[in-house]
């Protein structure tokens, strides 16, 4: 596995510096070039908890992945670049207000002048490191903050109108190992209760918004305006290639 090849995949010209700005640019470039996608889950291709497998898929085969793959490989990159980082577990707050399987989402904490939440594996979410102090951060996708709930427990929130915050997920900053997500990864690949086993989800950030394939719907968001079109099954391979740069080695 080669750091330079990974950096080329995400279009990052390495400065060799270890600071917040470099971390921000690494995260942003990753999210602009590597899609969140669950195609292997939908088409029954097993996903092991293995960094080299992630590297081959994401860097060599120009694919994306879901949280264990994306944050798993990005954590490897950060550590190779000299950043101090560790995995954390999080619980997703669903749009209907219910909680997903506890601790089943993998994210990261990166230690610089203070700890920052970093997540390249949550689809439509913040594109920059978030401090744990409650300070807000804003990018094209919204205004975010991380607030302390109790010892070691925080909520990542996005502003939804004036003085209203929506919790995206609750996270525990206790360090985890990738292998700690074995049960969660199996659940999200196989359980009918998992959001990821229901339909294709492919999503990629763009400089002015986002592109998402959800089942048979292609949603392109530019400057807050959404355009939704229906995708026929016969057109999915071309949509995956033309919009997300994905060439599948199996038929859909």
Domain boundaries, the chain: 3-244
What pTM, to 2 d.p., does this model score?
0.95
C-alpha span between 226 and 61 (Å, rounded): 30
Residue 251 has what pLDDT? Answer: 56
Residue-level pLDDT, tens digit, the chain, 252 residues: 999 999 999 999 988 899 999 999 999 999 999 999 999 999 999 999 999 999 999 999 999 999 999 999 999 999 999 999 999 999 999 988 899 999 999 999 999 999 999 999 998 889 999 999 999 999 999 999 999 999 999 999 999 988 899 999 999 999 999 999 999 999 999 999 999 999 999 999 999 999 999 999 999 999 989 999 999 988 999 999 999 999 987 655
Residue 250 has what pLDDT? Answer: 67
Residue 252 has what pLDDT? Answer: 59
Q: How many CB atoms lie within 10 A of CB 94?
A: 10
Structure tokens given for 8: 């080329």
Structure tokens given for 61: 């085969």
Count CA atoms within 13 Å of residue 209 on its CB side.
12
Per CATH, the architecture of 3-244 is what?
2-Layer Sandwich (3.30)
C-alpha span between 23 and 123 (Å, rounded): 18
Residue 41 has what pLDDT? Answer: 97
């Amino acid at each position: 596995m080669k750091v330079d090849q990974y950096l080329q995949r995400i279009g990052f010209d390495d400065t060799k510096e270890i600071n917040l700005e470099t971390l921000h640019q690494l995260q942003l470039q990753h999210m602009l070039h590597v899609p969140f996608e669950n195609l292997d889950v939908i088409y029954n291709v097993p996903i092991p908890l293995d960094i080299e497998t992630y590297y081959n898929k994401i860097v060599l085969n120009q694919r994306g992945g879901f949280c264990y793959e994306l944050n798993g490989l990005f954590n490897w990159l950060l550590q190779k670049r000299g950043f101090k980082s560790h995995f954390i577990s999080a619980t997703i707050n669903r749009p209907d207000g219910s909680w997903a399987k506890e601790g089943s989402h993998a994210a990261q904490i990166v230690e610089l002048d203070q700890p920052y939440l970093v997540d390249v594996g949550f689809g439509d979410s913040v594109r920059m490191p978030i401090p744990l102090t409650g300070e807000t951060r804003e990018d094209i996708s919204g205004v975010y903050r991380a607030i302390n709930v109790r010892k070691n427990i925080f909520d990542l929130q996005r502003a939804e109108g004036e003085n209203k915050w929506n919790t995206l997920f609750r996270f525990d900053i206790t360090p985890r190992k990738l292998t700690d997500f074995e049960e969660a990864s199996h659940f999200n690949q196989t359980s009918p209760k998992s959001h990821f086993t229901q339909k294709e989800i492919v999503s990629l950030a763009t400089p002015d918004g986002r592109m998402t394939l959800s089942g048979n719907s292609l949603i392109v968001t530019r400057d807050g305006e959404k355009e939704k079109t229906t995708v026929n099954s016969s057109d999915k391979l071309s949509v995956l290639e033309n919009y997300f740069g994905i060439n599948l080695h199996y038929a859909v």
